[in-house]
Every structure is written in structure tokens, then in C-alpha cells.
Structure 1
Amino acid sequence: MRVLFIGTYVPKECGIATFTSDLLNSVSGENNDVHCEVIALTDPSETYDYPEEVVFQIQRDKLEDYYLAADYINQSDADIVCLQHEFGLFGGNAGDYIFALLSGINKPVITTMHTVIREPELEYRVSTEQLIKYSEKLVVMSQAAVDMLKNVYKTPEDKIEIIFHGVPDYPFNNCSKYKKMLNLKGSPLVLTFGLLSQNKGIESVLDALPEVISQYPDLVYLVLGATHPMAKKTQGEVYRQYLKNKVSELGLENNVVFHDKFVEKEELCNYILASNIYVSPYLSREQIVSGALTYAMGMGKAIVSTPYWYAQEMLSDNRGLLVDFGDTDGFKNSLLYLIENPEECNGMRKKAYDFGRKMTWKNVGKQYNTVFGKALKHYNTYPRVQNRFNFLPNQLPEVKLDHLKLLTDDVGIIQHTNLGVPARRYGYSTDDVGRALVALTQLTDSQKKAEEFRELITTYMSLLEHAQTDTGHFHNFMSYKREFLDEKGSEDTLGRTIYGLGHVVSCPYLSKNIRTLARILISKSRSEMENLGSPRAKAYAICGLYEILRAGVDADEFESVFKLHKDVVKPIDTLADRDNFESIIISHADSLVDLYEANHKEDWNWFEPTVTYSNAKLSESLLLAYNYTKDRTYREIGLATLDFLTEIQWKGDFFDMVGNKGWYSYKGEKPIFDQQPIEAGYLTQAYVSAYEIVHERKYLELAKYSFEYFLGRNRLQAVMYDYSTGAVFDGLTSEGMNYNQGAEPVICFLMALSSLNEHIHEAFSTLLQSKVSDGLVTGLQRNEKACYQ
């Protein structure tokens, strides 16, 4: 059995780090067949030389790390995940970053709850309920915690296990040997230890000491421990200085000692063994576990404590003395009672020590291994449906153009929105108009549809005609005042425009006038098209010109319209030159092949040293070039690069697009965020083209999965498509979904939807009738067929 622990870890100076280390050693020490590793929580300001069992690190406040850790866990050979949970360990609201990890893994989770809140604020209740949902078993360390889980959070009883906090196994002893070893004074020596913070309540003990010391002047009160890192970060040493000032005010300088350091476990145990009395003066009742109190019990110390929940339970049956919170007289009387009644004190110590035998790490390790075994057996016997996407619909959405129409006025498409409301200050973009024409013409499968879309298509064509420059290029950005903001757009703008115009030319249901105008605009751009340098611009141009050639549209078809309007339309010598389009496709496809040959490596099948944006359009353009020319080099590289995009983005049950925060360079780290929906749209189109050309079912399956990225099949399980309006949210960020709904995402959604719509019946029947194709990337979830059934 392989166990992967998640928590803080030594050498970090933190109680849970020590607990995780002790638990790991006890689990592996009790069974040679158990192998343990650790995912450690860290802080950006911390650098640790972790031991070899730490295999992955999560920066506490970096959400991406939680997602990456989930990926690591899924790809590892771990059988069980053992999570150490304390709200403050994890980033987010009430530590909710951890759910980015838990929601994404397919291993059983055993959670040790170091805190359970009886009267939680809303965010802590929600976080606890989520934790319960994702955990196979919950381990708590007291009956009080069990009762709270059942009564407050309605947790099923069979999900809860009680295993005490572990303690080292030392013989019952007297103190003199260890006092001498540490050169400590104090008769008696009273000890409080642990990371120092204002909740510690040490001032209550200090206020009680003057009267005790007046009778027993050799008493020493040792406060052992560094200031808690979080307290130090936010408040500095305010609390420690407050305590030191109180010591001076009370005249206790000779009787109170502060050891401001974090001691390792062996040294800590020596300090406990050297002490006569342990005092635990916490101020909060909601303390569900205390490692310090547990250690003191396990080593047979006389104990005085405030009645927080854990202490009440552990010190029952006369295993210690309880004093009310802040009760100075109570602490004074309890200390005097223990000093003046040695036989009763020893009896109390022995009861605590005997109870502590249940809590030795050896016994704790055995109990955890038993829970691990039960959970794993239960998990395997009754396998959970690991499909996280069972909310997906079993059919594609209907075409809905409400949002596209909302963004469109009598000029063109408003580029961006502010929370779904068109933001006029951003104006218009030729890029959007060109691709919108692709989407609309793909959806125009009848004369009725042509009439329905006529106004939109005419408006978009009008903008393109206006945006074309004298050289045949196109302006890209126009302000809301109808003023162009550039001398000309980028090469990609030209490519996207040709892409859209090519679809207009090849759409038989559109009017001859509109199609003729599109052909003229393309022909006027010929010299600009021939001299493109941008790989993506070339890919767009290939896709647009391919549509004309594929449809067999010849210039003669437009000749009558051309003659009727020769006073308006300037004659273009190359209007009928079909060979020009073919030569441009071959030239651009060859240059993409050259680019691939220059940059691809054995483990990097891509055109460039970095995967950036609009990626799948490069692969698709070569596949279309192959389909027209039958040059098998285009096919080979088109498929190889498309498969590479699958390899780096398909996670087994969802697509994880390359984020634009740095892009993905060879030998670099793939960024998760920000993910853009254009990648899902273009992937869907490319997979559909691949399926149509090579007839391999895996591409149709992948097309469906990449399209479902919009519907929630993504890392955040976020539904990006608004079924009521047809809008699409702008992207996925580390903070969640971008709630703006601009032009590009809805256009790319419509392009993908129209491509997949042609094969949707076949796509669904493929998923239901066949096993996952052998060629599909390893990890496709077979149980997804059941979801669609």
C-alpha cells in the first residue's frame, strides 16, 4: 500500500508538520509493506531542505499548485491520500483552495481533522461540508469532535473514525535525570510549551504565581516555544513582550523563564520529562485537539488545564485538574494542591500515563493502517463514479444567436462587454467580424437560414468592405465613433478576414451579390496574402481559400453580377484565376512544414518552440491542405501536431488548455491559467476536420469532449455557456470564471457548434457503441458511456 500524505512537513516549525512526520513514521514503521510520500504545504517566503519523502510542494496561496498537485496524484501510484486538515494551512476563503485538489483526484481520501467548529460561520460550515463530501473517512482525535460531526454537520457515523493524537513511548519516570541533562532548575518545574500566540493564556498563570512563589520560592515556570509564525508575521512579538512586561511588574524575573525557540521532538520530550507540572491555559473553549496536552499525558505529567473541549475529555476520570478560563485563583489553588499533595499528584500522573498507552505512535500507526485498509477495500468494492462531469447534457445546445445579435449594431460587432453588457468604448474588430462570417455561413444550411441571417451577414460584409485598404489589407480596430484606429491590422487580421470571406464565397444559399463582393475582396488581397509571414495568418488564409476550392466555386459564376455592376465594382484581372488560390495554399502549407521541421523534437511535435494561442488552426490548415492537394506530408504533420495538442491538454476526462500566463515553452512549465475559450473552439473544428479526412473515431470523440469544455468539461467544472442568452464567458482564471461575455468566445462557440452539429448523431452513437478507441490518449474514462446512457 502506498500512502501519500498532504500537510505541512518538517523541517517547517509547525505542530502539524511534526504530526505529519510522526504519523508517516508510525504508519510505515508498523508495516514494511506500506510506502509513504508527502506533498508539503509551503509559504513563498519559506525555503526548506525537505527530506526525500517530500515529492511535491504546494505554495499555500497559489491556486495553480493545488491543480498541479491533483494532476500529480492522479498520475502517481498512490493508493491512499491522507490529508492533514486545518483551515489555516490552505489558501482561499476558509482554506477552500484545497478543494481544487480534492475535487480533481481519483484516489480515496482519509482526512485527519485537526479542527472542528461547533458554531461555524458560513464559510467555515461550507468548507467543512465540502471536506466531508470529498473524504472517504474522517479521522478525529476526541469524542467531542465525533459528536460535532454527527450533530452539527450530519456526518454519517460510519464515515468517522476516532484515533487519538500520537505520543512517544517513554517509561514512567522521575524528573531529576532530565533536569540535570538540560541543566534546568525549579522545584517544582512548571512547563507550558508550544508556539506562542495570544490564545495561549499564559498571562493567567503569571497572575497566579506570586502567591504560589511566596510559599515555594524555588518554583520555576518555563515557557518553551517560538512565537507562532503567523502571529509573528502579523503582530511581531507583541504578545511575548506583553508577557515579559507582566513578569517585571509582578516581580517574577527569578521564577519565569522564556525559551524563545522551536525545539525538535527529542529535545521537546526531554523538557517535558524534566518538568513536574504541565499547564495548558488556553483561552478558547473550541480547542478540539492539543498535541502539547497529549504529549504531557503520554509522559505522565501532572496537568492543570482550562476546560477546552479536548482537555475536558482527556483529563476526565481524575487524569488532571481543570480551571476555568482566566481563573487566576483556580490556577493558584491547583498548583498548590499538586505541590502539597504528592501522593494524589502521583496517582493523577499514573492515570494520565496509563491512558496515554492507547496513544503511543505505535498504536496510532496500527489504527491508521487499519483505516487505510478498510477505506481502500470499500473504495475498490464499491467504486465511485469518477466522472465529475455527469451534469453535462446528452445533446448539443440549440443554436442561439441572441447574444451575437445583442453585440451587433448597424456597424459591426462590439468587441467586449462589461458583465454581459456591450462596452462601446472598446469599439469593433475586423477579427471578430471575419470569424463571425465563418460561424454564420456554416450554420446556413438552407435558404430559410440564409434569409434569417441575411441582415447580420450583410452588416458584417459592409464593415469588411469599408475596412479594406487600397493595398488589399484590412484595418482591424474601429472606435465607436466609426474611426479606424490603425493604418492596417496585423497579418492575423488579414488571415481571419480571408477565412471568413472564403466561407461566404462557398456558401450556396447566400445571394450572388454578397458572394461576388466576398470574392472581389479576396482577390484584391492577393498580393498581401502571398507575402504573409505569420504562421497563424497563413493557416487562416489556407482555411479560407480551401473553402472556395473545395466547393468548386469558379469566377464564371459571378461574371453576370460583375458585368451588371462594373460601374461600381472595379475589374480585377485575377478574379477568375483559380490557380492563384491553389499556389497560395501550397506555398503557405510548405512554409508551415518548414517551420515544423525547424522546431520539432522527439518530445515536442510543434511548429514553434512555444505553444501560444489559436493553436489547433495550424494543424487544421495542414489537414485541409492535404485534403485538397493529397500531399501526405501535410497530413502527417497535421495529425502529429494535433495529437501533440491532445497530449499536452487532455487530462483523461477534460481538456486543460494552455494558459496565456507565459504560454508553454519547450522544457518549460505549462501554465494552467488564464485559459481562453478560443482554444476549445478551434480544437473542436480541427478534430472534426481530422475525422472527416482520416475517418478515425477518436477525433470525433475528442471533438465532442473539447466542445463540452464550454459546457463544464474543464478544470473548474465551470459552465461557460449561458443557455438562456447564447453568451459565452471570456475564460477561466485562477480566481474562477471571467464573467465578461465578449465577441470572440461566442463566435468560437458557434463555429465549434456548427462543425460538430454535422456529426452529432454519430458522435453520441460512437460513445455508446464502442469502447474508447485504442488510439485515444490513455486515461479516457470508460464510465463516461454510462453518463450519456
Structure 2
Amino acid sequence: MLMSETLRDRLTGRLDSLRSNSMPPDNPRIAMIGNYPPRKCGIATFTGDVHDKLSQYHPEVSVDLYALDDPKSPLHYTNIAGTIDRASPESYLQAAQAINRSAVDAVWLQHEYGIFGGDCGDMVCDFVDTLAAPLILTPHTVLADPSPKQRAILEHLVARASRIMVMSEYSRDLLAESYGAPHELLEIIPHGAPFRPFGRQEEYKARLGLGGKNVLMTFGLLSPGKGLELVIEAMPGILRRHPDTVYRIVGATHPNLVAEEGEAYREKLAALAEELGVADHIQWDDRFLETDDLLDQLEACDIYLTPYLNLQQSTSGTLSYAVALGKAVIATPYLHARELLANGVGCLVEPDSALAIMHTVCGLLDDPQELSALQKRAYARGRQTIWPRFADKTANLIQSCILHDGNHVPHGTRPGLSGVFAMCDDTGMFQHANGIVPDRAHGYCLDDNARALMLMNVAQGLSVDERMQRSVTFASFMQAAWNEDKSCFRNFLGFNRQWLEESGSDDSNGRSIRALGHTLRYSTDAGLRRWARHLYDKVLPHSLNQDSPRATAFAMLGAADALHILPDHGASREVLTEGAAFLYRLLEASRRPDWAWFEAVLGYDNPRLSQALIEAGLLLEDDTYLEAGLESLQWINTQQCSETGMFRPIGSDSFGKPYRHLPFDQQPLEALAAIESAQCGYRATGKRCWLDHAEKAWNWFFGGNDRGVTLADIATGRCRDGINPRGANENCGAESILAFQLSHYSMVTLPEAR
């Protein structure tokens, strides 16, 4: 079924309204993903704190919150953008699409294996693959000895991240050494902490009826591994020296533990206190406290204890809070404690030792001056992590992730050709490069040499001799690629000038026909045109045997060029007629109300299918083909525009995924296809929307893209190999260089296309 007039007008209107935006925003907006209050866990508290502190200290940063939720036990959230059913792949997809539609400047993901659905939380991988905005990753657990699945998940997230925030030097170094995180993407921002005056213990002890007491305290969700039983075991020795001591255990039992065994762990601790005769000196507050209430209780303590048994714990919010409030801290040497309590900020004790805890507590209580000095050192250290400093650092992190460096370059500025010729030798154009240096190991391919011949047909600024020399080199490559025995072109040639195959792909054969037709139409040299006609006539009939949609489209475009010069060329008309019928059948069989396309999947060079149908409609004077080509081209152009109006080509991650398109990796060839097909649409209709879309695709080369990176260099004519989640691929291969060069010449001639 054809697209309705209303839908067509709506799509055209949207293309008209979209505008490129490559300047850094003054008021950035991010989407934040993670657990969120009222869920009771450390990730939820952290996510809530980030949101609240950015709002308080950096109101110019807007945060859209997406809370991971469990529909089996749903919570009531306020002031959030949406929820994600942690166990539903469809929910992740819908959330990612909503985030893309909202056009946020960055996405900040809080990662912990247990909060996402799937095996070890692997549903997060498809989720981040669908996101277009730069990804800020905060991994709350970085394992030194992960399972293969855990390693694969974190490596995947690291590969997708534009910035990685960690809260400890250990996590930074482990991510770099074991998970492949580039050092330049890693930034340490210690866990934030509250800002309160120092030394108000006695005031807050009085509020809790603890005046005259030595107050020890631990707070947080209770679970085995926190080492609380060690403090209880130390209490008899502490009380013998300091009988006016109480140990306050503040916090609810972890909800997951309650679900598994109820309050068995708390009851076990209470039984131990009874057995040791210290129950009267243990105070329980088994609630999940709101922050202000929690801080009031923390202010009432003299010594804060975190005798964790897991020494790999790299982040502890409770430890950060205690240090910032100026508490004397005693901790086992887990990772975060070793870093935060270094240089005399706190006391580290032997793991799993009640005796060590008892001696250290008594030592501090025996020496009030040392206890006070330790508290003052902790408070001074905490000034580096208080919420205003934390908010400043996170706001800077967000800005560093989203800053764009692109500038619009008029398409009338002719690119140099030195970058093209640096990739060539007497055989042809090399396929790949390491940076700007040709990579001989990968040799040559027909695709690139065919495109290089097309460039020589239209390039400006060349002498007659140089144009001829280069054109003959590329034409000679194409001539040698033709395998008479197989009646097809080869594609790949090694640096040793040995062909690596007998038959190239259908698509490479189709592109070769396109280049021959292009040479027939555009070459300024009569001898080259005669050569192209001879080889074109030989190979064209074999294109009728292809069943690849893109190979068919390329052959049709070559035939269309030939028909502009040879209007009575019967073989070209046959290729155009049969190809158009084939593509139209595909479109009619595959399109759905929400998917007006030739196939269930999107691949590379997508607009070429529509472009070929438009050319067939014009040359065969068939309105059915023309309308189908224009409508499908409008549809694919809409898919390749972001909500902010930037060109966002179909990413290579999309290939083979039915009815989905993903934003990365983005290739320069897609911008060329968008520009040349838009030129075709403009020639057919004269509508401004096609010129606008071509302009967006051109701007993509110069920062009008999802990472704000400039890919093309006007001076040399080079172009980097595309955009991945982290930014630009620094290599400058032949395909990318030629895509940029040919895009320029299409943009220059586009206004005259009518």
C-alpha cells in the first residue's frame, strides 16, 4: 500500500523543520538510568543524591530520571521521566527509543550487575546499543576476577562509553588494565557527602538520650559481610575499659535478604549480643532512614566502624558520609577505605579480627586528644567530597562528554586531493589506512577503485595530464578485475597483485556497472568514454542475474547514467525496467504501516534503493515507480534524522536486526548516499526538503553529528572512517575519503539538479 498523502505531507514537513545543532548546549539535559528512591538500596540513594545535588548547585543541568523497577512489587515514583521493567527487553527498547526522541545531550548509566535483567544483568547491553547520545558510565562494582559473562558485559559497556566515572583509584586502574578502558575517558569523582558543621556530637547525643556516652556506630543496609558480629564480639573488652559505651546499629536489613530469610541475620546478631552479655549496650534502629534523619544520628557518634569482610569493595557511601561529618573511622582495609583513610584520616585494622577492633577503639577512647585530632583530619578530608564539590565535578563531567567541536564548512569550498593520492600507487587505491598511512597488508579492492574513477570524472583542480594519469590507473584496475571465465568482477587484490578471489560480491559488481555508466556520462576524455562503453556493454547483461537489492540498484544507477547519453541503449533500458519491477515488488511485499521499506532489515547504502526507483520512474516515465521511490526515500530520510535535526545514518550495528535501527557505527558512505539520493529527489520534485536533507548529511562531516566530531579535512581532502560511541574512528580509509570527496561534488551540483 502506498503512503497516504497526509503521511507524505507530514514526513515532508518534518524534514523541512529539522535543523542541525552542533553547538554545546548552555543548559544541558541528561537522562539518568538506575535504581531510584523510594527503592531502598545504595544505587537508589546515589542516583537520588546526584539528581538532587545537580538541581541544587547546577540548576542549568536538567536530569530526566528513568528508574529501574519491578512490576511484581512496583513503587510509587515522583518527578521521573519513566520507569523500566528491569526484566523486560521490550521495556528497555521503549525506554531507549523515548530517550532518543527526547534528544538529551547525554545518558548517565549507573551500573551494578544485580539491578538489570537477564543473565548477570545482560539486558543492559542491548539497551545501551540503542542509545544515540553520549554515554556516561558509572560502574559501582568493578570485579578483579569476574565470571566470563560479567567481564563481557562490563567490557561492552566500557566500549560504548564516552566517559567513565569511577569513585576510586583502584577502579580506575582495574578498568584500564583489565577491561580495556582508555585512560583519557576515566575520571575519578569520589562519592559525594553532606556538608555540615564540625563537632556537634554532644548536641546530637543529647537529642538521642545519649549524653555522657561514648557512641560507636554503623549504618546502612544489614547483610552478612558487613562484619557487625566482630564489633559485637569486641564489645566485652571495650566495656571493661569504657563501660559508658554503646554501639548503635542503624539501618534496615537488606530487602533481598529479608525476602530470602526474613530477619534471621539480625536475630543472629542480637542472640550473639545476649550471649556475650552486651545486649544492653547495643542499640538497634532497624529503619531505612531518610537522609536528614540519618545524618542527625551519624552526628551523634564518636567512632564510626565499617569492619567489612569483603576487601574488594571499591565504594562505600556510608564511609564517605562518616568522613565528611568528621567522625573517627575504624575500618578493615577494603579498597575504598584504603584510599579515603590514607595519610592518617582514619584507622585501618586487621580483617576479621574482633581483637583488633577492641584495641583500636580502646586506644582512641583512652586518648581524647588523639580521638579529636583524628576527627578533625577526617573532616578536613571530607571537604574534598562534600556535595557542592561533587556537583561541580559531575557538571564538568557532563559538559566534557557533550561538547561539540564541529563547524559548518560551506560545500562550495573545494577539498584538496593530496589525501586521495597519498592512498594510491601505480596499481590503484589502497583499501585501508592506519591513521593517514596506507595499510598495504589489506591491499586493494574494486569498490574503492571504481569510486576513485568516478571522482576523477568530476574532480576540479586537476591538470589534463594528471586527471588522465589517475583515471587510467583506476580504469586499468577495473579492467583487470573483470574475470572473463566467470563473467563477473573480482573485488580484492593483495599488495602482491594476486587476486584473492575469483568472483567478487554482487554489490561490488553492481558498483562497477555504476562507475562505468558514470564514466560514460561524466568523463571529459573521449578515449575513456569509449573504453567505458566497451566494458559496460560486455558486463551489463550479467547484472540481470543478480538478486541482491543493492547490486540491482547500483546497476540501475549505472544504466540511468548511460541512458542520459545513449537514450536508445536497449540493454540499459532492460536493466532499468527489470530492476525497477524487482525493487517495487520487494517494497510492496515488505512494507508495513510503520515500516515503509524494501526489506525487514536496514543495511548500508539504504537510500540507493529509493534513488534507483526514482531514476527508473523518471526515465521510464512511470509514476508508480517515481511515487514509490520518493515515499520510501522520505521514510528512510526520516529514520536518518535525530530529533534535534542532525543527520544520523543507520549504524552498522543495525545490520541483520529486523525492524530496528541502531545509531552506531556511522559511516561516511551513508552521508554520500543521502546526498546523492536527495539530489535525485530534488530533481524529481523541486521540493526544498531534499536540499535541506542533503545539507544535514553534508554537515555530518563537520560536527553536525551525534558526537560533535569533525571527520573531514578540507585542506587534504581526507576523511576519518566514521563515528563510534566514543567519537571518531581516526583511520582514513579509501571508502571514507572518496565518500567525502564525492559528497562535495554532489553538493556543488545539487542546486542545478532541476
Q: With structure 1 as the length reference, what TM-score do the two structures score?
A: 0.59
Cα contact 2:713–2:719 (8 A) shared by 1: yes
Partners in 1 of 2:47 and 2:516 — Cα distance? 63
CA contact (8 A) 1:324 1:330 kept: no
Matched, 1:686 2:713: no
Aligned residue in 1 for 2:444: 428
Deviation at 1:688, TM superposition (A): 1.7
For residue 758 of structure 1, the aligned residue among 745, 749, 754 is 749
Shift of 1:451: 3.8
Q: Give the distance between the partners of 2:38 and 2:83, measured in 1 at CA.
A: 15
Corresponding position of 2:3:
none
Residue 658 of structure 2 corresponds to residue 605 of structure 1 = no
Amino acid at match of 1:514: L
Letter in 2 for 1:725: T
Structure-2 residue corresponding to 1:656: 648
Matched, 1:536 2:527: no
Q: Does 1:191 align with 2:217?
A: yes
Task: Indicate yes or no: 2:304 matched with 1:280.
Answer: yes
- How many Å separate the matches in 2 of 1:3 and 1:454? 53
- Flag the 1:667–1:492 CA change in 2: closer, same or farther, 3 A: closer
Alignment partner, residue 615 of structure 1? 606
Shift of 1:192: 1.2
> Is the Cα–Cα contact under 8 Å of residues 15 and 291 in structure 1 kept in the other structure?
no
**SS across alignment from 2:700:** coil
Q: How many residues align?
A: 586
Q: Does 1:305 align with 2:328?
A: yes
Asked whether the equivalents of residues 162 and 726 of structure 2 are also in contact (C-alpha less than 8 Å), the reply is no
For the aligned residue pairs, the C-alpha RMSD in angstroms reads 6.1
Are the aligned partners of 1:623 and 1:634 in contact in 2 as well (CA < 8 Å)?
yes
**Do 1:221 and 1:257's aligned partners in 2 also have CA atoms closer than 8 Å?**
no
State the partner residue of 1:214: 240
Conserved 8 A contact 1:680-1:706: yes
Residue 337 of structure 2: aligned partner:
none
Matched, 1:523 2:537: yes
Structure 1 contact 543–624 (Cα < 8 Å) conserved: yes
Residue 728 (str. 1) matches residue 744 (str. 2): no
Q: 2:636: which partner in 1?
A: 645
The equivalent of 2:45 in structure 1 is 18
Structural mapping, 1:478-489, within 5 Å:
478-489=493-504
- How far apart are the structure 1 equivalents of 2:318 and 2:469? 73
3-state DSSP of counterpart to 1:661: helix
Q: Which of 426, 430, 433 pairs up with 1:410? A: 426
Offset from partner CA, 1:610-656 (integer Å, 9 cap, x none) = 01111111111112222212211222111112111122120123222
Partners of 1:282 and 1:325 within 8 A in 2:
no
Distance, in Å, in 1 between the alignment partners of 2:535 and 2:424 is: 22
Pick one of 521, 544, 549 that aligns with 2:563.
549
Residue 438 of structure 1 and its aligned partner are, at CA, apart by 2.0
Q: 1:49 to 1:392 in 2, by over 3 A?
A: farther
Pairing 1:503–2:503 present: no
Runs of 5+ unmatched residues, structure 1: 29-34, 60-64, 103-112, 132-138, 146-168, 176-186, 230-247, 309-321, 339-363, 376-385, 555-576, 764-789
Counterpart of 1:142 in structure 2 is: 195
1:466-517 Cα deviation digits (max 9, x unpaired) = 221226421112222222222221221221011101111112521x221111
Which residue of structure 2 lines up, in the alignment, with residue 401 of structure 1?
Answer: 417
2:489 matches 1:463: no
Deviation at 1:450, TM superposition (A): 4.6
CA distance in 2, matches of 1:654, 1:667: 22
Distance in 2 between the 1:86 and 1:527 partners? 54
CA contact (8 A) 1:540 1:617 kept: yes
User: How many angstroms does 1:40 deviate by?
Assistant: 4.1
How many angstroms does 1:597 deviate by? 0.3
Distance, in Å, in 1 between the alignment partners of 2:107 and 2:523 is 59
C-alpha distance in structure 2 between counterparts of 1:443 and 1:256, whole Å: 89
Give, in whole Å, the separation in 2 of the partners of 1:23 and 1:336.
39
Instruction: Find 1:581's aligned residue among 560, 572, 585.
Output: 572
Q: 1:581 to 1:263 in 2, by over 3 A?
A: farther
Equivalents in 2 of 1:476, 1:528: separation in Å?
A: 16
One-letter code of the match for 1:213? L
Provide the C-alpha distance between the structure 2 equivalents of 1:754 and 1:513, rounded to a whole number of angstroms: 23
Partner of 1:391: 407
Distance 1:476 1:323 in 2: 66
Distance 1:630 1:51, change over 3 A: farther
Alpha-carbon deviation of 1:686?
A: 0.9
Relative to structure 1, is the Cα distance of residues 407 and 14 closer, same or farther in structure 2, using a 3 angstrom cutoff?
same
Question: 1:10, 1:50 within 8 Å by CA — same for their partners in 2?
Answer: no
Unmatched segments (≥5 aa) in structure 2? 1-28, 56-61, 111-135, 143-153, 199-203, 256-271, 308-313, 332-343, 350-357, 369-386, 396-401
Q: Which amino acid aligns with 2:44?
A: A
Q: Which secondary structure state, in structure 2, belongs to the residue aligned with residue 391 of structure 1?
A: coil
CA distance in 2, matches of 1:481, 1:533: 32
Query: 1:9, CA displacement in angstroms?
Result: 2.4
Tell whether the 8 Å contact from 2:602 to 2:650 is kept in structure 1 after alignment: yes
- 1:227-265 CA-to-partner distances (Å, cap 9, x unmatched) read 999xxxxxxxxxxxxxxxxxx9xxx96659999x99761
What is the DSSP-based 3-state SS (H/G/I as helix, E as strand, rest coil) of the residue aligned with 1:38? strand
306 and 453 in structure 1: CA distance in 2 versus 1, 3 angstrom threshold: same
C-alpha offsets along residues 684-703 of structure 1, whole Å, 9 cap, x if unaligned?
11112212221111111110
**Structure 2 length-normalised TM:** 0.62
Q: Deviations along 1:181-239, whole A, 9 cap, x unmatched?
A: xxxxxx98843123799x9999998999666321456966466679999xxxxxxxxxx
What is the correspondence of 1:91-130 to structure 2 with a 5 Å cutoff? Answer: none
Aligned residue type for 2:362: K
Select the structure with the greater relative contact order (CA < 8 A; seq sep ≥ 6): 2
SS state at 1:280 partner: strand
1:269-288 CA-partner distances (Å, limit 9, x unpaired): 899989985632589xxx99
**Other-structure match for 2:701:** 710
CA distance in 1, matches of 2:85, 2:163: 10
Report the CA distance shift for 1:188/1:676 in structure 2 as closer, same or farther (over 3 A): same
Counterpart check, 1:474 vs 2:489: yes
Instruction: Give the corresponding residue for 1:332.
Output: 362
Q: Match of 1:440?
A: 456
Q: Which AA in structure 2 matches 1:520?
A: H
Aligned mates of 1:590, 1:613 — CA distance in 2: 21
The residue aligned with 2:509 is 494
Q: Distance in 1 between matches of 2:552 and 2:182?
A: 53
Q: Secondary structure at the match of 1:683?
A: helix
Structure 2 Cα separation of the partners of residues 40 and 13 of structure 1: 13
Contact 2:193 2:321 in 1 (8 A): no
CA distance in 2, matches of 1:78, 1:463: 47
Give 1:88 deviation, angstroms.
5.2
Q: Distance in 2 between matches of 1:11 and 1:518?
A: 71
SS of residue in 1 equivalent to 2:728: strand
Q: 1:761 to 1:529 in 2, by over 3 A?
A: closer
Q: Which residue of 2 aligns with 1:452?
A: 466
Distance 2:533 2:707 in 1: 43
Change (3 A) 1:18 1:620: same
